[in-house]
Amino acid sequence: MLTPDFTQAHWRKSSRSNGGGGACVMVARIPGAAGVKDSKLGSASPVLPFTTSAWSAFLRDVKTGKHDLR
């Protein structure tokens, strides 16, 4: 997969992010990819890219509790 270009992406802060300055995750979707970054680092944050299918699988697993600590 080529490195996706997120420069024009619309980033959303997770509703689960801590408002106290920690755990700030941002997500953006572009055609064919999704990206995750740390909002505390601003524009300097590296982007962790995912294919659309990998991101969808991750979201499905989270929603079904597959990654919950037991």
Tokens for 57, please give them.
């699988």
60 pLDDT higher than 70: yes
Helix (H, G, I), strand (E, B) or coil at 55: helix
Whether 11 is in a domain gets the answer no
Whether 56 is in a domain gets the answer yes
Phi, psi of 40, rounded to the nearest 5 degrees: -65, -25
10 pLDDT higher than 70: yes
Whether 54 is in a domain gets the answer yes
* pLDDT, position 19: 64
**What percent of the chain clears pLDDT 70, i.e. is strictly above it?**
87
Whether 6 is in a domain gets the answer no
